[in-house]
Amino acid sequence: MAEDGVLGLQLWYNAPADKYFVLLPRGTASIYILDVDGDRQVFLTQQLSPTPEDRAEVQTVLDSIRIG
C-alpha cells in the first residue's frame, strides 16, 4: 500500500503459511509474543495515528484474551 508515495515496510514474511506483516506509513505497531506450553502465539496490532483512547481499547482486548 502506498500513501503519499511512501510504501510500507515489510517486517516479515512466512512463505509456508503465506503470512506477512507490513508496517504502514505513520502506523504504530505493537507485537506480543507468548510461549504457551511450548507453542509460540503472536498477537499484533497496527493503528494509524492512534489516540490514547484507541490504545486503551486495544489494550482492553489484549487483556481479555485467555489461553487455557
Looking at the DSSP bridge assignments, the partners of residue 33 are: 42
Compute the average pLDDT of residues 55-60: 89
Which secondary-structure segment (H or E) carries 64? helix 52-64
**Type of residue numbered 41:** Q
Q: Domain residues for 47?
A: 2-64
Domain count of the fold of the chain: 1
- Residue 20 burial by Cβ neighbours in a 10 Å radius (0-12, 13-18, 19+): exposed
- Would you place residue 64 in the very low, low, confident or very high pLDDT band (cuts 50, 70, 90)? very high
Query: Which of 22, 26, 24 lies closest to 49 in space, CA to CA?
Result: 26
How much is the pLDDT for 21? 83
pLDDT in tens, 2-57: 556 677 888 778 887 788 888 888 888 888 888 988 998 888 888 887 889 988 99
